[in-house]
Amino acid sequence: MTLTLAVLDAFGGAVDFIFSPRPSRGSGPDVGGLGQVGELTLEHLRLSGAAMVLGLALALPVGVYLGHRGRAELLAVGIGNAGRAIPELALIAFLVAFVGVGFVNVTIALVVLAIPPILTNTFVGIRQVDRDAIDAARGVGMSELQIALRIELPLAAPTIIAGVRTSAINVIATAAIAPLAGVVTLGDFIINRNVYGDEGVLAGAILIALLAIAVELVLAAVQTLLTPRGVRVERALAARA
C-alpha cells in the first residue's frame, strides 16, 4: 500500500516535471517543462533520424544488390548477427575516448548500429521473393534493375521494414546515452541526475519509452502500407489455413 502510494507519487512528480519548469539542482537555468522537453525530444529525433537515414542509404542498396545477385550471404547475414553483439555503452565510450564527442561522431556510431538489421533483412527479404515472380518479370522483358526495383523490392518491403524497425529501436535506445558524448538528447534527464533530480530522471525514462513506442507504431503503420496487396492476401490465406 505504502509502496503503491510512493510509486504513484514518484510518477506524479515526473509528470509534473514534464509540464512545469523548476529551478535546477545545480547552478544554471530552470529545468523541466514542455520547452526543454520539446528541445531534447527534437534533438533525440534529429540524432536518431540522421543515423537512420544514413544507415538506410548505405545498407539498402548493398542489401538489394547482394540479395538480387545472391552473393555474399555469409557477409550479409553475418553482419546482422555480429551487430547484435556490439555493446552500446562500449561503442559510445570507445567513440568518446578515441574519436571525440559531438553530433557527427555520435551519428556515425549510431549508423554502425543501424546498418546490420537493415542489411540482413533486405538481403533475406530479397532472397525470399518467389522465383516464379522473377521468372515472369524476366519473361516479359524486364531488365535486372527493373526486376530488383519493381518486383523484388516491393515484395521484400515488409521484411525490410521489419529490419528498419529493429534498427530504429536500437538507435533510439542508444541515442539515450548520447549525452555521455556531448549530444543533449532525452537521455540527459537520466544521466545528469544531479541537475534534474529524481523526478527529472523518471520523466526522462517515461519520455524515452513513449518516444520509442511512438516511432515503433509509426513504422508498423508504414510496414502495413508498404505491404503489397497481393502479399497481404497471401498472408491472410496462410494464417487461415
Partner 1 sequence: MSVSAAAITVAQAGSDFFRDRSEADCIRDNGAFCAGWVIENADRYVEPTLEHAFLVLVPVALGFAIAFAMAVASHRARWLVPPFIGATGVLYTIPSLAFFFLLLPITGRGNVTAIVALTAYTLQIIYRNIVAGLANVPADAKDAGLGMGMTERQLLWRVEMPLALPEIIAGVRVATVTTVALASLAVFAGAGGLGNEIIAGSAITFRTGIVVAGSLMILMALAFDLLLLAIQRHLGRWRVAGRERAAGAPRLRRLRAPGPERA
Q: Which residues within the stretch 52-71 sit at the binding site for partner 1 (CB under 8 A)?
A: none
Which C-beta is closer to partner 1: that of 11 or that of 65? 11
140 touches partner 1 by CB under 8 A: no
3 touches partner 1 by CB under 8 A: yes
The CA-based dihedral angle spanning residues 17, 19, 24, 25, taken in that order and rounded to the nearest 10 degrees? -10
> Minimum CB separation from partner 1 for residue 175, in Å?
9
84 touches partner 1 by CB under 8 A: yes
The greatest distance separating any two alpha carbons of the chain, rounded to the nearest whole angstrom, comes to 73
206 touches partner 1 by CB under 8 A: yes
In this chain, which stretch among 27-35, 54-62, 150-158, 198-206 interacts with partner 1, using CB under 8 A?
198-206
Among 148, 176, 183, 184, binds partner 1 (CB under 8 A): 176
Among 117, 115, 111, 156, CA closest to 133: 156
In this chain, which stretch among 46-54, 131-139, 146-154, 169-177 interacts with partner 1, using CB under 8 A?
169-177
Determine which helix (DSSP H) or strand (DSSP E) holds 199, and give its type and residue range.
helix 193-226
Q: How many Cβ atoms from other residues are within 10 Å of residue 14's Cβ?
A: 21
Among 98, 132, 139, 237, binds partner 1 (CB under 8 A): 98
Among 97, 140, 145, 237, binds partner 1 (CB under 8 A): 97
Among 129, 130, 123, 106, CA closest to 163: 123
Which C-beta is closer to partner 1: that of 66 or that of 208? 208
Entry field: residues in the chain: 241
> Minimum CB separation from partner 1 for residue 192, in Å?
12
Distance CA 166, CA 219 (A): 10
Query: Which residue in this structure is represented by grid cell 522483358?
Result: 141
Among 174, 234, 141, CA closest to 48: 174
Q: Name beta bridge partners: 31.
A: 22
In this chain, which stretch among 5-13, 17-25, 70-78, 226-234 interacts with partner 1, using CB under 8 A?
5-13
Answer for the pair 84, 173: CB distance below 8 angstroms, yes or no. Answer: no
Rg (CA), the chain: 22
114 touches partner 1 by CB under 8 A: no
Residues forming contacts to partner 1 in the complex (CB under 8 A) are: 3, 6-7, 10-11, 81, 84-91, 93-94, 96-98, 169, 172-173, 176-177, 180, 187, 190-191, 201-202, 204-206, 208-209, 212-213, 216
